[in-house]
Structure 1
Amino acid sequence: MKKIIDWLHLWLGIASGLVVLIVAATGSLLVFEDELEPMLHPSFYYVQAPEGEKALSMDVLAGVVKDRYPGYKLREINIEQEANRSLIVLVDKGKDDILAVAVNQYTGQVIKAVNEQRRFFYVVLQLHRYLCMGKVGKVITSISCTIFLILVITGLVLWWPKRNTRKQRIRVKWNASWKRLNWDLHAVLGFYVHIVIFVIALMGLTWSYEWVNNLIYLTLDGKPYKKITAPKVEPAKAKHTAYLDRILASTDSALTYHGPIKIRFAEKKGEAITVNRKNKDAAIDNTISFMYFQPGTGALVKTRLYENESRGFKARRLVYPIHTGSLLGWPTKIIALIAALTATTLPVTGFCVWLNRKKKKKPARAKKPALNEVLLAKDSVSFPAGI
């Protein structure tokens, strides 16, 4: 049985190794995306906050962006709570032409606009989920994610030590030969992170297969997942001059906790504007409440508080922070980063283990005697000693 598991682990690893390496490497970058992105582009994300000065009207700032980029429609406004953070407005001409515009909320100055699809972390995310190959890439990463789960289980079986080899299986022998060191790096380090990488990969199946996503809701709510859309609203008869400011005031009044606000404009006519606020004061990440408003007037249509959501919805909200390691903040992020970096090395060290096996010298066969040696042996006569 162990030989079969060894064979399965070897060939499944070879089949999925390159994809696992790419997904793990990009995943390790995405763990600290929220922290790294502003650090890499500080002029885009930070502004000088004048002491005692308030930000301009949100309607004025949105108007500045619309005037600067005619032909584009407002898609999304991202408002951070820190006073020195810029306002990020997304405008688009369709799914393939999206601009992220940074605006100084105190002066109304447009700092810079970048193509959303060309951002570094956007490309990293496309590699992570789709290998930059669209639907075909999603199928490949989904299959590879499933294979990776099998590799973790079979790897644990192969690692499992006998009584007299337990110490050997939990320590890396740094002064050993290259072959032994490579095996330790693959097996021992893989053992230490196997639970974390298994859980991360398991959460990844939620995006890979719709039935996994539905299983969460069926188990906890008794019914399959139903896509949540913005409620239908009647068109505004008269547009309010500062309806975005009205939306923000209502959001601050209803959702009093600390956290960023995202205003997402309706994609279709007759739909409400969706506003969500992440609760940074909550013990776990991705705790978000939603509010819906009428376009043009800012009148409140509906409120969806996180505490009133179903068990299935709350469990589904946990999938992303578990997958990215952001569940409990920095401690879990560091654990996820170490696990992802280790997972990146496993295809490489595993491939080296396979190469080292192939290079093993086969035992030399006994040399056959030459024909003349055989004939001489037949003709010779041996005598007792002393004669």
Structure 2
Amino acid sequence: MSFLDKPQPLWWRKALFQIHLWIGLFAGLYAIIIGISGSILVFKQELAALSYPHLMRAPHPERPERADLFAVMESARVAYPDFRLSGGYLPGLGSENVLIYMQGSRERDLFVMADASDGRLLGALELESTWLHWISDLHFHLLLGLPGYVVNATGAGLLLLLSLTGLVLWWPGIRRWTHALKVDFRRSWRRINFDLHSAAGFYTLAFVVMWSISGIYFVFPKQVAAVVNVFSSVEGGRDPEIHVKAQRRSADLSAVLGQAMRNFPTCRLAGVYLGEDANHPITVFMARGRRSDFTQMDYVYFHPESGRQLAVWHSGVNPTLGSAFVFWLAPLHFGINWGLGIKTLWALLGLSLPALAVTGALMYWNRYLGRRWKRLRSAAPKAESTVP
């Protein structure tokens, strides 16, 4: 008897089933939360436009884009003096309008919108007050703040173990492996539930593994990159870590933006991020393709005090397999760079996580909890009849 012919009686497969079962029981709720919230966030831009059309929708879409990013950022700075200017993004990056990102005290973040045709400020949105922010916080932090990142990485690790053990358990033998790819709806509901769990787990395996690895990478990027680097260099696949020493952020932002556009004439200005403080560079985003596609973006780094260009990272240009691996973890995780069709597919695939959790829980009920419940119910009348 071998694993290829008839794996079910093998002792180690039975042990692996117990590991799969108990990991599933612990990670089931996590899979439901992360799957549903992730599927919603795939359409974050579309949902924001529906929720706040007066800010996200262009008031004059027929007019050409003429707003100057630097001028709009200065207008936002004057209009909201209690907030610190953090970045500015032209239409395509989260909104049909110019979007200015500002930070305030007590972790208050503000999105200020401006008409792309003339730069007129349209209003502001406090992120913490939106339902989409709550969904994002649930997905990325599990509503636990910064410790939620570590919990999320642990959950992603459990999903990876579930995927790998599930692949071994899925194998029914060389003669029946094609049956494990189908769902026979003529059978009992218990068998249909089993087939759904088995088939869905197989067809979504690659995606769940990708989401698991990328989820771990987002929390521990250096550690994951170090492991990949053992096999293939990751150079070029990650944005460089640039540390500067500056007394203050005093660079002429208008001159910085102008320098980036002159140095990269074949690209389009997409946005700018000013950095957390004076020890971080100013990052200008120059789009080689669509502004919303960060897989085709040049990141140009400038000194926050002198305005001198420090470095360039050509996002999406990966010279090695290792650099391509770590680079594509983020775009593939979110699935938002390739249009509405891929977004819809990603959202449906994300819902496979709660579906697998529910069908797995039903399998546990059918095999163990349901029988135990029946024994307890049948034993209760007998116990009552013996009472004098």
TM-score category of the 2 structures, normalised to the smaller one: 0.7 to 0.9
Aligned to 2:312: 304
CA separation of 1:346 and 1:90: change in aligned 2, threshold 3 A: same
Shift of residue 271 of structure 1?
5.4
Shift of residue 5 of structure 1?
1.4
CA distance in 2: counterparts of 1:49 and 1:258, whole angstroms:
25
Q: Give per-residue Cα distances to partners, 1:350-371, cap 9 Å, x unaligned.
A: 00111111224899xxxxxxxx
CA distance in 2: counterparts of 1:236 and 1:3, whole angstroms:
62
Aligned to 2:261: 252
Residue in structure 1 matching 2:366, options 356, 361, 381: 356
Shift of residue 98 of structure 1?
1.3
Aligned to 2:273: 264
Shift of residue 139 of structure 1?
2.8
Name the SS of the counterpart of 2:358 in structure 1. Answer: helix
Which sections of structure 2, spanning at least 5 residues, go unmatched? 1-11, 376-388
Answer yes or no: is 1:137 the counterpart of 2:148.
yes
Shift of residue 71 of structure 1?
2.2
Aligned to 1:216: 228
CA distance in 1: counterparts of 2:68 and 2:61, whole angstroms:
16
Residue type at the aligned position of 1:170: L
CA distance in 1: counterparts of 2:84 and 2:75, whole angstroms:
12
Shift of residue 261 of structure 1?
1.5
Q: Give per-residue Cα distances to partners, 1:142-166, cap 9 Å, x unaligned.
A: 2221111111122222221234433
Name the SS of the counterpart of 2:107 in structure 1. Answer: coil
Aligned to 2:335: 325
CA distance in 2: counterparts of 1:34 and 1:229, whole angstroms:
30
Residue in structure 2 matching 1:200, options 183, 200, 211: 211
Shift of residue 316 of structure 1?
3.0
Answer yes or no: is 1:112 the counterpart of 2:120.
no
CA distance in 2: counterparts of 1:226 and 1:256, whole angstroms:
22
Q: TM-score, normalized by length of structure 1? A: 0.78
Aligned to 2:25: 14
Residue type at the aligned position of 1:277: M
Aligned to 1:175: 186
CA separation of 1:117 and 1:310: change in aligned 2, threshold 3 A: farther
Aligned to 1:103: 114
Aligned to 1:346: 356
Q: Give per-residue Cα distances to partners, 1:274-312, cap 9 Å, x unaligned.
A: 212343369x85233122346688x54234041788756
Aligned to 1:229: 242
Name the SS of the counterpart of 1:113 in structure 2. Answer: strand
CA distance in 2: counterparts of 1:2 and 1:296, whole angstroms:
62
Residue type at the aligned position of 1:159: W
Contact 2:289 2:297 in 1 (8 A): no
Contact 1:80 1:259 in 2 (8 A): no
Residue in structure 1 matching 2:90, options 76, 79, 87: 79
Name the SS of the counterpart of 2:198 in structure 1. Answer: helix
CA distance in 2: counterparts of 1:199 and 1:114, whole angstroms:
33
Aligned to 2:201: 190
Q: Give per-residue Cα distances to partners, 1:328-383, cap 9 Å, x unaligned.
A: 555654443332111221111100111111224899xxxxxxxxxxxxxxxxxxxx
Q: Aligned-residue CA RMSD in angstroms? A: 3.6
CA separation of 1:330 and 1:116: change in aligned 2, threshold 3 A: same
Answer yes or no: is 1:30 the counterpart of 2:41.
yes
CA distance in 1: counterparts of 2:52 and 2:145, whole angstroms:
28
Contact 1:98 1:116 in 2 (8 A): yes
Contact 1:199 1:323 in 2 (8 A): yes
Name the SS of the counterpart of 1:202 in structure 2. Answer: helix
Answer yes or no: is 1:289 the counterpart of 2:298.
yes
Aligned to 1:4: 15
Q: Give per-residue Cα distances to partners, 1:241-270, cap 9 Å, x unaligned.
A: xx52x4443333333456662211243337
Which is worse superposed, 179-188 or 204-213? 204-213
Aligned to 2:54: 43
Residue type at the aligned position of 1:304: V
Contact 1:275 1:290 in 2 (8 A): yes
Contact 2:101 2:112 in 1 (8 A): yes
Q: TM-score, normalized by length of structure 2? A: 0.78
CA distance in 1: counterparts of 2:69 and 2:90, whole angstroms:
10
Q: Give per-residue Cα distances to partners, 1:182-227, cap 9 Å, x unaligned.
A: 112211111111122112212221123342233234544489x896
Tell me the number of residue pairs that the alignment of Structure 1 and Structure 2 aligns.
356
CA distance in 1: counterparts of 2:127 and 2:102, whole angstroms:
10
Aligned to 1:277: 286
Q: Considering only CA atoms, is the larger Rg found in Structure 1 or Structure 2?
A: 1
Contact 1:78 1:262 in 2 (8 A): yes
CA distance in 1: counterparts of 2:142 and 2:64, whole angstroms:
46
Which sections of structure 1, spanning at least 5 residues, go unmatched? 364-387
CA distance in 2: counterparts of 1:314 and 1:178, whole angstroms:
44
CA distance in 1: counterparts of 2:65 and 2:91, whole angstroms:
14
Shift of residue 59 of structure 1?
3.8
